């Protein structure tokens, strides 16, 4: 009888132990799943050693984006209203690998303020490109800055005027000073003569050759050269997309007087909206082409071979259509002339 009781207690203890181990396994699995899910969620923030600066200081703001491995941050457009804060410059993204398997992209934003006070940076968005070409956005919250004056409280109080300085050599100037002054004047004159003669000896620069062909003819010829180079077959996708994008932007500059080479795609889209020479359909077509090229150029994503080969054809179709539309707008109607 005693052996049966002991055996029953042992079975109950064993079942409790099994239930305890199962519960512990479920808790650890759930914690790991939540931790992994949280670690893979992208985050964005501003970082700086201190939030207090002096007037005129070059303030370094580190824009830090933690994201999944393989994702790439597209360079943000910071040409928004910064108020009294002056934007000085933006560096290219730098990518580092984190211990949790994620990657960190850092972009240094340098600003300056010329008046003391409390400031905040403007809110904007950062775009993330995945390996499959999917684009997601992350909002960047405003970041507070405090700018203090470089003056001390005592600097606001008036001080006595210093007495007039006395000349150490008395009323007479020594011959040594006269000789030093004459030698200095002669040396300056000789340097000026040498510079003038060297400028005369420089041969005139040859005049640069100007391509007098119409902008659309130049652009179509450049697209032919790109297709003949066959960057796609060589696997040079980034070179192919960059050349087609630059050709399209130069055509927009020459044909429609836009600063397309100096603007981001987002800024160019706003410029096109204010330009009545292109209808909405052509604007959407060229912006889509440039955005497709941006994903390959900046995110370094390997595109589909067929899509890459069709890029030049898309650019050629846009150039022909936009030129035809401009000709139609500038050519008077024959009935009206009659």
Which domains occur in the chain, in start order?
43-148 (2.60.40.680), 215-333 (1.20.120)
What is the DSSP track for 40-57? TS-EEEEE-S-SEEETT-
The pTM for the full model equals 0.45
Q: Provide the pLDDT for residue 37.
A: 43
Q: In the numeric block, which tokens belong to residue 259?
A: 């600063």
Give the DSSP letter of residue 155: G
Q: Strand, coil or helix: what is 220?
A: helix
Six-digit token string for 105: 């992209």
CB 219 within 8 A of CB 247: yes
pLDDT given for residue 57 in this prediction = 84
* Cross-sheet strand order for the sheet of 124-129: 72-74, 124-129, 135-140
69 HSE (CA, 13 A, CB side): 7
d(CA 175, CA 289) in angstroms, rounded, equals 78
The answer to whether 293 and 260 have CB atoms below 8 angstroms apart is no
Can you say how many angstroms the Cα of residue 329 is from the centroid of all Cα atoms in its chain? Answer: 36
Strand partners, 112: 86
Predicted local confidence at residue 30, as pLDDT: 54
* CB-count exposure of residue 153 (10 Å: 0-12, 13-18, 19+): exposed
Cβ atoms of residues 318 and 248 within 8 Å: yes
- To the nearest 10°, report the CA torsion of 313, 315, 319, 325: 90
- Which pLDDT score is estimated for 5? 43
* H helical segments located in the chain: 2-39, 175-201, 215-229, 237-256, 265-273, 280-299, 305-330, 334-337
Q: What is the per-residue pLDDT for 104?
A: 92
Distance of alpha carbon 82 from alpha carbon 307, whole angstroms: 39
List the chain pLDDT tens, one digit each, 338 residues. Answer: 545 444 555 444 666 666 666 666 666 655 444 444 444 688 988 888 777 888 888 888 898 999 888 888 887 777 667 777 888 888 888 899 998 888 999 988 888 888 888 888 888 888 888 878 788 888 988 888 888 887 766 665 666 676 766 655 554 566 777 788 888 888 898 888 888 777 665 566 666 677 788 999 999 999 999 999 999 898 898 899 999 999 999 999 999 888 889 999 888 888 888 877 888 899 999 999 998 888 888 877 788 888 888 999 999 999 999 999 888 887 765 444 44
> Maximum CA pair distance of the chain?
132
- For 243, how many CA atoms within 13 A lie in the half-sphere containing its CB? 21
For residue 106, which of 75, 151, 150 has the smallest C-alpha distance? 75
Is 111 exposed, middle or buried, given 0-12, 13-18 or 19+ CB atoms closer than 10 A?
buried
Question: Which is nearest to 279 in space by CA: 248, 322, 245?
Answer: 322
**CA-based nearest residue to 48, from 104, 111, 118:** 111
Closest listed residue to residue 145, CA positions, set 125, 124, 115? 115
How far is 121 from 26, CA to CA, in rounded Å?
45
| Nearest of 231, 236, 238 to residue 297 by alpha carbon | 238
102: how many CB neighbours lie within 10 A of its CB?
17
Kindly report the number of other CB atoms within 10 A of residue 29's CB atom.
10
């Amino acid at each position: 009888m005693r052996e049966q009781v002991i055996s029953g207690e042992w079975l109950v203890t064993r079942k409790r132990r099994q239930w305890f181990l199962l519960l512990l396994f479920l808790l650890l699995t759930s914690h790991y799943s939540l931790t992994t899910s949280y670690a893979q969620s992208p985050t964005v923030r501003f970082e700086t050693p201190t939030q207090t600066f002096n007037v005129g200081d070059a303030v370094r703001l580190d824009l830090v984006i933690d994201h999944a491995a393989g994702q790439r941050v597209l360079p943000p457009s910071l040409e928004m209203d910064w108020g009294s804060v002056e934007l000085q410059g933006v560096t290219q993204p730098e990518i580092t690998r984190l211990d949790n398997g994620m990657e960190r992209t850092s972009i240094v934003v340098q600003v300056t303020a010329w008046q003391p006070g409390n400031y905040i940076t403007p809110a904007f968005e950062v775009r993330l490109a995945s390996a499959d070409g999917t684009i997601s956005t992350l909002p960047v919250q405003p970041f507070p800055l405090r700018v203090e004056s470089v003056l001390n409280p005592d600097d606001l109080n008036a001080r006595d005027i210093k007495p007039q300085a006395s000349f150490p050599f008395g009323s007479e100037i020594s011959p040594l000073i006269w000789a030093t002054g004459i030698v200095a004047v002669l040396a300056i004159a000789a340097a000026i003569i040498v510079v003038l003669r060297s400028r005369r000896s420089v041969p005139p620069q040859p005049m640069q050759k100007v391509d007098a062909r119409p902008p659309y003819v130049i652009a179509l010829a450049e697209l032919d050269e790109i297709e003949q180079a066959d960057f796609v077959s060589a696997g040079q996708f980034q070179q192919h997309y960059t050349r087609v994008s630059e050709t399209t932007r130069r055509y927009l500059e020459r044909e429609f007087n836009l600063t397309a080479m100096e603007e981001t795609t987002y800024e160019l889209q706003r410029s096109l909206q204010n330009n009545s020479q292109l209808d909405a359909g052509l604007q959407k077509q060229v912006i889509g082409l440039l955005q497709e090229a941006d994903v390959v150029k900046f995110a370094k994503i390997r595109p589909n071979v067929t899509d890459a080969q069709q890029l030049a054809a898309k650019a050629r179709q846009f150039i022909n259509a936009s030129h035809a539309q401009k000709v139609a707008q500038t050519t008077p109607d024959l009935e009206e002339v009659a």
